[in-house]
Every structure is written in C-alpha cells, then in structure tokens.
Structure 1
Amino acid sequence: MKFHADKPDTLSISAIGDGWVAINGERHENSLVVTSAGHVLPWACARFEDLAAPHFESLTGLMPEPPELVLFGSGERLRFARPALMRGLIEQRIGVETMDTAAACRTFNILAAEGRRVVAVLIVGG
C-alpha cells in the first residue's frame, strides 16, 4: 500500500508491506521510531510480546520538546499494551494511541503534515 504526504518537505511513511515499512522511499524491515522532527531510529522491540516500560520511556527525549502524541503501531493486528508500560508517558501528559501498524503509519503522516509533535513507534512484521 502506498501513502503520499501532503507536504513533500515533511518526513513521511511512503509505503508499507508484509514485514517492511518505507520512510521517504527507504525500506525498513525492523521495528522503528519515526518522529515528526525528522528522526528515523531503530526501536529495540521486535515483537509485541517483548514490550517493556523502557521501550516507551525512551521516547520522550527524541525531540526538542516532548511529543504531544505517541502512536503505537502494534503490528499486523490491533493489540493493546498493558497501561503500566506507558505510565511514564501518561504521567508526562503525553497522549498514547494504539492501532495496528498500517493505521499508525497513515495517522502519523496526517499529524506530521499538520505540524504536530508526534512520534510513531512501529512494530514491523509482528
């Protein structure tokens, strides 16, 4: 499935397939973090079952200001992480939305194009 950004100068998730995500045309086959500030980083959580609080705690210092929202792409299907894992984000008043990875990619593109401070954490292929 291909996606297109409204603003060509914005980092965008350009496509997603079985076991991969493309960011500005570059294919990634491992879980990753994408920020509206332009960062694409590996995320040390390959499988939903491996989620731990530090995976989410590491997301707050990735941008000059904390994100308004973290989009958690849980893999090929919608799965909710235990709330205790995201407590640090919630206590900092950072919103967390959970959706399957394809939906998180589409939502990231929309919010980033609007200029929102958003981070997408994507489990790829899980």
Structure 2
Amino acid sequence: MSVELNETLIEHFRRQLQARFDQLRQGVQEEVLRSDSEHFTDVAGEVHDEEEASVASLVVDLELANIDRHVHELRQVEAALLRIGRGEYGACIDCDQPIPPARLAANPTAERCIACQTDFERAESLRQQPAASRTL
C-alpha cells in the first residue's frame, strides 16, 4: 500500500477528526437532553387541532432526524480514527489505492477513492430503486 500521506499529515487529520468527534458527541448529548425536555406530549398538549398536531409531530421528527444524522457522522469519524490507529488511513477500502490528500482534506472520513466511491454510490442507488423502476 503506497499511501501519499506522511506522518505529519496523518497526525493533522487525526487531530481534526478527534476534534470533530468530540464536537459531535457533545452536540448529540445536548440534542438528546433538549429533546427529552421537549417531549411530544408537551408540544402536542399545546395544540388545538389536527393541523397543529401534525406540525408538532413534524418538529419531533426533525429533531430525531437531526440526532440520527449526527450519530451517523459520529460513526464515520470513529471509523476513520480506527483506520488511523490500524495504519490503514488514506487507503481505499475497496481497491487499496491511496486516497489523494486533497480528497481527505475535503472529507477526512473518506474511506474510498473517488472512482470506488462513484461505483459504490451507483450500486447503492440501483439497489434502493424499486424493482419495477429497474426494468424500465
């Protein structure tokens, strides 16, 4: 594996990822605590009709979606930190070719080179399409 990253650059990404991990973890904790204090029943208790109930439900769903998005990013950051610890950071998980430092600077959690990421996303989009759509 010929990774174009030197130890100084890897350490830079490790510090950046660790800072993001800490920030996300604290943010998720704060959002969960805030969400707990603003239960749906509290919000819904103030509504007077079905439209207001729908808005209250939407607010709760958006809060949960935001927490889910942060947890997903937290897992990506944690995986990148584990790759650093194993000495695998900067190598594509599919083809084992080096991921360009510019790509890692733009997305420090990148686990695939651009070519493999493109193939992965194409395969995922096909997998998620309904069967009827794929045959057209």
Higher helix share: 2
TM-score normalised by L of structure 1: 0.24
